[in-house]
């Protein structure tokens, strides 16, 4: 290990400060990956990098330390007080690590080339680690919201669809699936509606899912996509929309539910439980199969098909409290009130 102690004490002091800064930042991210994300792979990498830097934290650097004369000590920035979310903390500490490592690279190229090389390697790796952590954070946030959702409101083509969805969101609906099967509706119109709905859902901190159309899901930065049995395979959808987005799958029997689990879908819809106006030709499954499915799967399960205020108590009796509806809200005189009534019955 080639190491030439710096003759300038200021350089040694600077190296010491940035080794501390980089290691502290790595520890912050490591602990979040350990306790917040439970990602052992990320923890192992971060811990290894922290120890590699520690091996180059020579005594001469520490001896140069002088906290009492440090002109930058205890200077805080107002932005620090605004780090409310884990993503904010992760991004701030990744930047901290990258900046500290860059300083180490610049000031140790000749005196400690091994440290300069390690600093460069870790700095580049941190760029990808930050992306990975943010993706995992976003996925967990979506999954947490998904778990808390009682109603998935599926749209149907209506002139006033934006105001209807707005009323439902204001009443507490936390998941909207944009579904437009109308062949007469242009893709331009569908994209425009989806963008408006995406903004509404973001405003109300609700999930926004696109039915079938992965391209529209990508274009609107939706929270995920919902696929039918005849739609593209889950692994292809995952490649297209990324790991941090949600994928739902429509199912009609236990076998299809097991397939969805094996494909790592994030949630499933099961139906039709009752006769449905939108899919009246399909065989009704009934609440007995719903109860069996609820006990068989660990995935969030939304009952769908002909569900409204008159029969939602039958859904509750199976153990699940998640439903997907269209007519029960979309075609009601007061969509907001209809949403409230359904949500009360699902508590």
Residue 78 and residue 155 in one domain? no
Task: For residue 280, give the CATH number of its domain.
Answer: 3.20.20.70
Q: What is the reported pTM? A: 0.80
Residues sharing a CB contact under 8 Å with residue 279, sequence separation 6 or more, in sequence order: 272, 305
Position 4 scores a pLDDT of 87
Per-residue model confidence as pLDDT tens digits over 230-278: 999 999 999 999 999 999 999 999 999 999 999 999 999 999 999 876 6
Residue 3 within any structural domain of the chain: no
CA 17 to CA 8: how far, in whole Å?
A: 15
Residue 2 within any structural domain of the chain: no
Per-residue model confidence as pLDDT tens digits over 77-120: 555 555 578 889 999 999 999 999 999 999 999 999 999 999 99
Residue 158 and residue 52 in one domain? no
Helix (H) or strand (E) segment spanning residue 216 = helix 214-219
272: cis peptide before it, omega within 30°?
Answer: yes
Residue 4 within any structural domain of the chain: no
Per-residue model confidence as pLDDT tens digits over 124-144: 999 999 999 998 999 999 999
Q: Residue 75 pLDDT more than 60?
A: no
Residue 218 within any structural domain of the chain: yes
- Closest by alpha carbon to 228, among 206, 207, 210? 210
Per-residue model confidence as pLDDT tens digits over 155-181: 998 889 999 999 999 999 999 999 987
Q: Residue 148 pLDDT more than 80?
A: yes
Task: Count the domains in the chain.
Answer: 2
Residue 180 and residue 310 in one domain? yes
CA 149 to CA 205: how far, in whole Å?
A: 12
Residue 245 and residue 335 in one domain? yes
Domain span at residue 89 reads: 9-139
Per-residue model confidence as pLDDT tens digits over 185-227: 889 999 999 999 999 999 999 999 999 999 999 999 999 999 9
Residue 61 and residue 194 in one domain? no
CA 129 to CA 24: how far, in whole Å?
A: 16
State phi, psi for 37 to the nearest 5 degrees.
-105, -20
Residue 242 within any structural domain of the chain: yes
Last residue of a domain, one of 139, 165, 194: 139
């Amino acid at each position: 290990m080639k190491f030439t102690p710096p003759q300038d004490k200021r350089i040694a002091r600077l190296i010491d400060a940035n080794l501390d800064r980089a290691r502290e930042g790595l520890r912050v991210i490591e602990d979040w990956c350990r306790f917040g994300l439970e990602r052992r792979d990320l923890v192992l990498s971060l811990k290894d990098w922290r120890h590699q830097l520690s091996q180059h934290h020579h005594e001469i650097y520490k001896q140069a330390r002088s906290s009492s004369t440090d002109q930058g000590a205890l200077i805080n920035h107002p932005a620090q007080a605004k780090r409310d979310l884990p993503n904010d903390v992760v991004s701030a500490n990744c930047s901290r690590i990258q900046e500290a490592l860059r300083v180490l690279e610049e000031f140790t190229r000749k005196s400690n080339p091994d440290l300069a090389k390690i600093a460069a390697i870790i700095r580049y790796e941190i760029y990808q680690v930050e992306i990975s952590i943010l993706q995992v954070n976003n996925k967990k946030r979506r999954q947490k919201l998904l778990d808390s959702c009682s109603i998935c409101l599926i749209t149907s083509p209506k002139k006033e669809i934006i105001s209807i969805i707005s009323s439902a969101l204001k009443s507490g609906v936390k998941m909207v699936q944009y579904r437009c099967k109308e062949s007469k509706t242009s893709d331009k119109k569908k994209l425009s509606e989806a963008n408006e709905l995406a903004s509404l859902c973001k405003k109300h901190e609700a999930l926004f899912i696109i039915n079938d159309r992965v391209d529209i899901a990508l274009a609107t930065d939706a929270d995920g996509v919902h696929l039918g049995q005849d739609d593209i395979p889950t692994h292809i959808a995952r490649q297209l929309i990324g790991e941090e987005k949600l994928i739902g799958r429509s199912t009609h029997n236990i076998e299809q539910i097991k397939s969805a689990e094996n494909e790592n879908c994030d949630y499933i819809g099961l139906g039709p439980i009752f006769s449905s106006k939108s899919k009246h030709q399909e065989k009704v499954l009934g609440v007995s199969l719903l109860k069996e499915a609820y006990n068989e799967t660990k995935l969030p399960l939304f009952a769908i098909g002909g569900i409204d205020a008159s029969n939602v108590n039958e859904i509750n009796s199976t153990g699940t409290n998640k439903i997907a509806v269209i007519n029960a809200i979309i075609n009601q005189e007061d969509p907001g009130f209809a949403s409230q009534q359904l949500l009360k019955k699902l508590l």
